[in-house]
Amino acid sequence: MPTLSQILIRFTAPACTALAFASLAPGAAAAQEDYTLRFNHVLGPNEPFHQGFLKWAENVEERTDGHLKIDVFHSAQLGVEEDIIEQIRQGANIGQNTDAARLGNYVPGISVINGPYFIESMADVEKLNDAPTMQAWQKQLADDYGLQVVCFDWVQGKRHFFTNQEIHSPADLEGVRVRTPPAPIWQESIRALGAAPVAMDFGDVYSGLQSRAIDGAELVYPNITAGGLGEVLDYAIETGHITLVNFQVVSSSWFEGLPEEYQKILVEECRAAGQDASRQMEAAASEAKAQLQEDGMTVITDIDREAFKKAGEQAYEALGLTDAKQRLAEEIGK
C-alpha cells in the first residue's frame, strides 16, 4: 500500500509540470507572434536607397523567421512625409525615411545635422552614434513625441544647387527661387546661402520647374536622374552645402511592443543596410553626374566655397542653434 508521501508525489508532480508549462506558454506564444511594419519613402524605385530598404526588410524577415516583416512603399505611396510622421506619432505600425530637418520640428537641436557644412562624411555620422547630445535628442523624440529613431546610418550624399543659370557665389543666388523641403533648417539654410526658399514636396519639383513656380532645386545627383529633372535643369552647382543624413523612424510605442530580440535585429539590420546603401550612393552620384553631363548638363565647380560656408553660418544664428551646433561639434571632434 503506497504511503501518504508517495500519493502526494504522484498527484503533485503532474500538476507542477502542467503549471510550469502554463507559465512558459505565454512567452513561447509571444515569441511566435507576427509583426508588420509598413515603411514609406519618397524616393523612386530606381534609387539605391529603395534597394537598401528592400535589403533591410529581407534580412529582418530572415533573422526573425518571418515573424517581423517590413513592407516597403516607394514614391510616397502611403502619403507625404509630414503626414506619415504624424501617423507614426499616433502609434501606427508605419515607418518613414526622413531627415534631421523634419525631426527638428519636434526637437529643434537635432536639425543642426542637416545644417550647412556641418556633417561632411560617413565618419562624422559614425561618431554621432556615441555623442551624448545626439543620444539625448533621440530619447526626447521617443519619450515626448512618440518617434523612435531606429538608425541614421543612411547618407544620401552631398546636396548641390541645380538651376537654369550659372551660379558662382551666394550673391548670384539672389532672387533665385529654390525648392526646399518644408522645415525651418532647410528654409533658413537656403536663405542664408543667398536664394529664396520655396517649400515644395519632392514629387512636385518637375512640374514646378516646368511651370516656373521655382527656378531650381537643391538635391543629390541621383535625385536628378531618378526624377528625370535633367530635362528641366541646365546647371549643377557643386556647392556640397549639405550632407544629407537620413533617419529611419517608427512609432516608439510600436517599437516597445516588439520582443527585445526583434528590436535588436531591426536596429542592427537597419544600420548594416544603411551603411551599404550609403556606399552605393557615393558610386551612384558619380554615375548620375556623368550621365547628366553626357545629356548636356553643365557642372560648375568654380565657386566661392568659402563665401558659401561663411554665409551658411547665418542659418544656425537665425534659428538659435549656434550653441547646439558647437556642443555637438565638440563631441564628435569637429
Could you tell me the pTM of the whole model?
Answer: 0.82
Q: What is the percent of the chain where pLDDT is above 70?
A: 91
DSSP 170: G
Confidence of residue 29 (pLDDT cuts 50, 70, 90): very low
CA separation for the pair 233, 212 (Å, rounded): 11
Domains of the chain: 34-331 (3.40.190.170)
Region of poorest pLDDT, from 21-25, 120-124, 232-236: 21-25
CA separation for the pair 81, 102 (Å, rounded): 9
Mean pLDDT of the chain: 91
Confidence of residue 187 (pLDDT cuts 50, 70, 90): very high
For the cut 70, the answer to whether the pLDDT of residue 7 exceeds it is no
Sign of the C-alpha dihedral, residues 101, 286, 76, 270? negative
CA separation for the pair 27, 21 (Å, rounded): 10
38 backbone dihedrals φ, ψ, rounded to 5° = -95, 115
Number of H helices, E strands in the chain: 13, 9
Measured in whole angstroms, how far is the alpha carbon of residue 202 from the centre of its chain?
15
CA separation for the pair 13, 4 (Å, rounded): 14
For the cut 80, the answer to whether the pLDDT of residue 198 exceeds it is yes
Region of poorest pLDDT, from 14-18, 93-97, 249-253, 294-298: 14-18
Instruction: Give the per-residue pLDDT at 4.
Output: 40
For the cut 70, the answer to whether the pLDDT of residue 14 exceeds it is no
For the cut 70, the answer to whether the pLDDT of residue 5 exceeds it is no
Q: Under 8 Å CB-to-CB from 92, ≥6 apart: which residues?
A: 251, 254
E-assigned strands of 12-146? 35-40, 68-73, 94-99
Strands 298-300, 147-163: pairing kind: unpaired
For the cut 70, the answer to whether the pLDDT of residue 27 exceeds it is no
Task: Give 221-263 pLDDT, tens digit per residue.
Answer: 989 998 899 999 999 999 999 999 999 999 999 999 999 999 9
Task: Give 123-160 pLDDT, tens digit per residue.
Answer: 999 999 999 999 999 999 999 999 999 999 999 999 99
Q: Under 8 Å CB-to-CB from 246, ≥6 apart: which residues?
A: 49, 97, 98, 99, 152, 154, 155, 156, 274
> Is 145 exposed, middle or buried (CB count within 10 Å of its CB: 0-12, 13-18, 19+)?
middle
